[in-house]
Chains A and B, each alone.
Chain A
Amino acid sequence: MAETSHRPVRAFAVRLRGWALPFALLAVLEVYARTVGRGSDALAPPSAAVRAFAVALGDGTLFAATGFTLGSAALGLALGAGLGAALGIVLGLAPRVARVSFLSIEVFRPLPSVALIPLAMLVFGFGARMELAVVAFATFWPMLVLTQAAVRQVEPGWLEVARALGLSPWSTIAKIVLPAIVPRLFVALRLAVAIALVVAVTVEIAANPHGVGYAMSLAQQSLDPALMLAWLLWIGVIGFAVNAGMLRLAQRVARRMGAPS
């Protein structure tokens, strides 16, 4: 970074090189879809995808579907990551409890979250609740494991201070443990956010007839490749924006907590 900053022109040229391939691919797809693959049910020129995107943006389906997906992902994340972090703190502070529950955790953790889609469908039916449940399950485990690891790395001296001051367990967590693990907690949260989004879209594509994932499968099933590509592009944009936002948030928090960045 520091090396390229005083050579802005060269740096710009290097960055430009990276964009050559995506644009070349888009151009090839455009030409192919307009000539050989004309009228295809599988592929559409990117320009048609952009038009389909504008239509979806105009008639409000884009906002409704995006709101549903982001809303269920956020609620499921709040539930799963909240419970996972809380249990992780407890297990991190009580090594004995952690040793005893290790086996049970290792039995349930490797279960692929998508295996619960049919069960959630059976219990909750279609809608936000089933999606929320699967997202909560998927985000619970990484949050539990990473929070537990973060708490174990809290300087033991600080916990001794808390004991010497006679702090209650509650205020030990609030005043000593939580501030100490915030930067690591945000790293874990970044991972959980990415998982939540992927799982939410997956649930919609596999079963739940709502949200952006369903909108995309529907476009594919109704043989509308332009609209399907538009949704795929939009899902990519959402993922990119959410991940970039979380990265900036984590960096900002780390700076405010005084971590050298």
Chain B
Amino acid sequence: MTRHLTFNWRDTAASLALLAAIVALWWAASHGGWVSRVFLPTPQATLDSLLQGLGLGGGGAEAGELAGFAASTVGRMLWGWGLACAAGVALGTLIGSSDAARAWLQPTLELIRPLPASAVIPLAISIFGLSGGMVLAVVAFGAMWPVLLATMHGMASVHERLREVATALQLSRPQFVWKIGLPHALPDILAGLRLAMTVALIVSVVGEMIASQSGLGQAILLAARSFRASELFAGIVLLGAIGFVSNAALAWAEARLLSWQHP
């Protein structure tokens, strides 16, 4: 999308300046006492907490703690996302390629779909108890919907001509799915996978907050409860970084995997 824009030094400098101005505003607000330090730590204190939490600077009891929390949150997010992808693509392919499956299953899915994934957590707690597996199941459940809907949509919107071609070539249904359906649905599926990653991170964090599973969600909630604002901000910055990196990685993968569409 932005590939054809010519690189412009003045715009780049101006965008960096804007970001620097936002940080400067933060610095001024916390140092000048416009906002209570209880809520808003200085950028320096946040950076110190971040470095100490990552085990990069200073010793202390909590050195490296944040890195461990981040690792377990990322692990939960990736596992849940992986499960969601597998289940979403499989179920979406089944429903998208078979009219019978659509007639039997779609209304049930339409009924479950508006439920927020977080609303399923209390139910999951009462069935599975407060365990890491429970959180993982909820993450997979929540992240499955974007993939499922995208796959269904991609499979169902295969052009009539291509279906005729498949009939003329006497392709079996698995062959049709593999050779025509899935390649056709790929752009939709990839967009769904990206959205699913965002959902997986959100549900992982909520799950950790509610079910007290070790991770960044629990860490920032505890930091807020004990008024450790710099640790809270360090955790928020890390979560933002995780969201940024995972989104950018998938956008990059998407562009590469779809490059055959723009010769």
Chain B interface residue number, banded: 35 or more
**Which residue of A has the minimal Cβ distance to B112?**
A236
**Which residue of B has the minimal Cβ distance to A239?**
B114
Contact (Cβ within 8 A) B121 A205: yes
Q: How far is the CA of A206 from the CA of B207 in the complex (A)?
A: 8
> A20 — which chain B residues lie within 8 A by C-beta?
104
> Per-position contact with B for A98-115: 1 when CB-CB < 8 Å, else 0?
011111101110111111
**Which residue of B has the minimal Cβ distance to A121?**
B224
Contact (Cβ within 8 A) A122 B121: no
Contact (Cβ within 8 A) A103 B244: no
Q: How far is the CA of A187 from the CA of B127 in the complex (A)?
A: 37
B137 within 8 A of A: no
Say whether, besides A20-B104, A104-B22, A229-B123, A239 and B116 are in contact (CB < 8 Å): yes
Q: How far is the CA of A19 from the CA of B229 in the complex (A)?
A: 51
Choose from A100, A111, A121, A239 the contact partner of B243 (Cβ within 8 Å).
A111
Choose from B14, B126, B232 the contact partner of A119 (Cβ within 8 Å).
B232
> B116 — which chain A residues lie within 8 A by C-beta?
197-198, 201-202, 235, 239
> Per-position contact with B for A227-249: 1 when CB-CB < 8 Å, else 0?
01100100110011001000000
Which of chain A's residues 164-179 have a Cβ closer than 8 Å to chain B? none
Query: Which residue among A103, A110, A219, A243 has the maximum number of chain B CB atoms within 10 Å of its CB?
Result: A110
Query: Which residue among A43, A113, A219, A220 has the maximum number of chain B CB atoms within 10 Å of its CB?
Result: A220
Q: How far is the CA of A222 from the CA of B176 in the complex (A)?
A: 52
Q: How far is the CA of A228 from the CA of B233 in the complex (A)?
A: 34
Contact (Cβ within 8 A) B122 A100: no
Contact (Cβ within 8 A) B22 A213: no
Which of chain B's residues 119-135 have a Cβ closer than 8 Å to chain A? 119-123, 125-127
Of B59-67, B157-165, B167-175, B234-242, the stretch lying at the interface with chain A is: B234-242
Q: How far is the CA of A103 from the CA of B23 in the complex (A)?
A: 13
Say whether, besides A101-B18, A104-B15, A107-B244, A118 and B115 are in contact (CB < 8 Å): no
A-B contact count (CB 8 A): 165
- State how many angstroms separate the Cβ of A146 from the closest Cβ of chain B: 14
Q: How far is the CA of A223 from the CA of B36 in the complex (A)?
A: 40
Choose from B104, B118, B202, B205 the contact partner of A205 (Cβ within 8 Å).
B118
> A136 — which chain B residues lie within 8 A by C-beta?
none
A259 within 8 A of B: no
Q: How far is the CA of A99 from the CA of B244 in the complex (A)?
A: 19
Q: How far is the CA of A201 from the CA of B121 in the complex (A)?
A: 11
B90 within 8 A of A: no
Choose from B8, B22, B106, B120 the contact partner of A99 (Cβ within 8 Å).
B8
A192 within 8 A of B: no
- State how many angstroms separate the Cβ of A86 from the closest Cβ of chain B: 18
Contact (Cβ within 8 A) B221 A41: no
- State how many angstroms separate the Cβ of B7 from the closest Cβ of chain A: 11
A9 within 8 A of B: no
Q: How far is the CA of A225 from the CA of B16 in the complex (A)?
A: 53
Contact (Cβ within 8 A) A202 B206: yes
Query: Which residue among A14, A17, A25, A118 has the maximum number of chain B CB atoms within 10 Å of its CB?
Result: A118
A253 within 8 A of B: no
> B244 — which chain A residues lie within 8 A by C-beta?
106-107, 110
**Which residue of A has the minimal Cβ distance to B115?**
A236
Contact (Cβ within 8 A) A17 B126: no
**Which residue of B has the minimal Cβ distance to A199?**
B116
> Per-position contact with A for B1-37: 1 when CB-CB < 8 Å, else 0?
0000000100100111011001000000000000000
Q: How far is the CA of A43 from the CA of B239 in the complex (A)?
A: 35
> B221 — which chain A residues lie within 8 A by C-beta?
117-118, 206-207
A39 within 8 A of B: no
Contact (Cβ within 8 A) B108 A18: yes
**Which residue of A has the minimal Cβ distance to B12?**
A103
- State how many angstroms separate the Cβ of A229 from the closest Cβ of chain B: 7
Say whether, besides A42-B126, A111-B240, A18 and B229 are in contact (CB < 8 Å): no
Binding site for A on B (CB under 8 A): 8, 11, 14-16, 18-19, 22, 38-39, 103-108, 111-112, 114-123, 125-127, 198, 201-202, 205-206, 209-210, 216-217, 220-221, 223-225, 227, 229, 232-233, 235-236, 239-240, 243-244, 247
Binding site for B on A (CB under 8 A): 14-15, 17-22, 25, 41-43, 96, 99-104, 106-108, 110-119, 121-123, 194, 197-198, 201-202, 205-207, 213, 216-217, 219-220, 223, 225, 228-229, 232, 235-236, 239-240, 243
